[in-house]
């Protein structure tokens, strides 16, 4: 049963849809690192803490993440469809010539497959997981609107799209009197700031674009678990034969990676001074940006989910002085930049 007493909810962009400011994501964990039974327990914990937004994708664990999330939601006693918001993403659906991209064919067929795996009649938000340079923008916008018109999705959004392509999609939707994307889902954390804090700023003002960010802990780097330069077992970087993880792991041992680890060690010291965990500090830092609609967190155990959700209760510790200290340490604040703390 969803418990809304301790959670804050925000509208997604220029829409009437509300989501919890913390969302639960599925990448790597659901259908991969953890069993369906563990997924069910984590989803139960999230609902008990007031999280109502759950994010998956057709590419997560080859679709198994959607299967496990659907099962987890159906297992919750007394949970109504209006109690939760599900977003999924289409782009990487398989190896066939029409199993990837944003053609009308794949957007339709990919969405049908997502709904079958989730065992839902519709998803609340359907994302274009990446831009598709090979498909005309009018076809993309019409494809997502068709899914909305058929009741397969209620809203649509983009993920990791550059601002100029989001603007193009907005303009196409306006010209054709169609529904525009209401949100973007970019990576955002202390180590990755440029796109959210600079590139998207005009979109916040002009379109009231929503932002549901992912990777607040930079795939675990900001937890401090890799600070000694080694990879503990059962961590995300210990996963073998995953192209994204392989690239991140290689980067950890590069010269730039070592410089990042030195900064992260000092971030961990700041967290210790505040009597919070590094993970809570990283998540709370993302929440300090009022342009962020929701921060998508991950968890491999209910205990980890509870710890991360506690970031809600430490935001007040990130005073202007603490934020300035972090900015000085990180030395990556975009310049010129929209100062979200004074907006």
Domain containing 308: what range?
A: 9-224+277-316
Q: How many CA atoms lie within 13 A of 157 on its CB side?
A: 30
Given this model, what pLDDT does residue 301 score? Answer: 94
Residue 338 domain flag: no
Task: Name the CA dihedral angle for 100, 101, 106, 107, rounded to a multiple of 10 degrees.
Answer: 130
Q: What are the tokens at 131? A: 């831009």
Rounded Cα distance between 160 and 343, Å, is 24
Domain count, the chain: 1
Q: What CATH number is given to the structural domain containing 299?
A: 3.20.20.100
Neighbours of 151 (CB within 10 A): 9
pLDDT top residue among 318 and 242: 318
Rounded Cα distance between 115 and 272, Å, is 44
pLDDT 10s digits, 138-176: 999 999 999 999 999 999 999 999 999 999 999 999 999
Is the peptide bond preceding residue 336 cis, with omega within 30 degrees of 0? Answer: yes
Residue 183 domain flag: yes
Strand positions, DSSP E, the chain: 9-11, 18-20, 22-25, 53-55, 85-90, 123-128, 153-158, 183-184, 210-213, 294-297
Mean pLDDT value of segment 61-87: 97
Determine the straight-line distance between the first and last CA of the chain, rounded to whole angstroms: 36
Residue 79 domain flag: yes
pLDDT 10s digits, 7-58: 999 999 999 999 999 999 998 889 888 999 999 999 999 999 999 999 999 9
Residue 285 domain flag: yes
Using the predicted structure, report yes or no on whether residue 70 has a pLDDT greater than 50.
yes
Residue 161 domain flag: yes
Given this model, what pLDDT does residue 225 score? Answer: 86
Neighbours of 276 (CB within 10 A): 21
Share of the chain above pLDDT 90, in %: 83
Residue 128 domain flag: yes
């Amino acid at each position: 049963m969803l418990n809304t007493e301790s959670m804050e909810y925000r509208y997604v962009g220029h829409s009437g849809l509300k989501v919890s400011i913390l969302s639960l994501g599925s990448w790597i964990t659901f259908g991969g690192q953890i069993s369906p039974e563990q997924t069910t327990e984590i989803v139960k914990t999230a609902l008990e803490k007031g999280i109502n937004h759950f994010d998956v994708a057709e590419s997560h664990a080859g679709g198994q993440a959607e299967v496990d999330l659907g099962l987890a939601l159906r297992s919750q006693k007394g949970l109504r469809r209006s109690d939760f918001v599900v977003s999924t993403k289409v782009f990487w659906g398989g190896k066939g010539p029409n199993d990837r991209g944003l053609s009308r064919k794949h957007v339709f067929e990919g969405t049908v497959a997502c709904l079958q795996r989730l065992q839902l009649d519709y998803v609340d938000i359907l994302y274009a997981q990446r831009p598709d340079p090979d498909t005309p923008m009018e076809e993309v916008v019409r494809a997502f609107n068709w899914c909305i018109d058929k009741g397969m999705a209620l809203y649509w959004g983009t993920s990791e799209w550059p601002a100029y392509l989001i603007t193009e999609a907005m303009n196409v939707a306006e010209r054709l009197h169609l529904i525009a994307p209401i949100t973007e889902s970019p990576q955002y954390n202390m180590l990755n700031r440029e796109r959210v804090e600079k590139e998207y700023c005009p979109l916040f003002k002009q379109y009231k674009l929503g932002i549901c960010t992912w990777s607040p802990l930079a795939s675990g780097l900001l937890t401090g678990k890799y600070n000694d330069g080694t990879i503990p077992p059962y961590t995300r970087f210990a996963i073998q034969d995953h192209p994204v993880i392989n690239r991140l792991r290689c980067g950890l041992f590069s010269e730039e990676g070592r410089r990042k680890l030195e900064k992260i060690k000092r971030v961990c010291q700041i967290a210790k001074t505040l009597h919070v965990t590094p993970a809570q500090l990283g998540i709370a830092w993302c929440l300090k940006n009022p342009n962020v609609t929701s921060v998508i967190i991950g968890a491999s155990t209910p205990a980890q989910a509870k710890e991360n959700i506690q970031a809600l209760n430490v935001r007040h510790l990130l005073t202007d002085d603490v934020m300035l200290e972090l900015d000085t340490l990180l030395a990556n604040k975009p310049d010129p930049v929209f100062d979200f703390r004074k907006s």
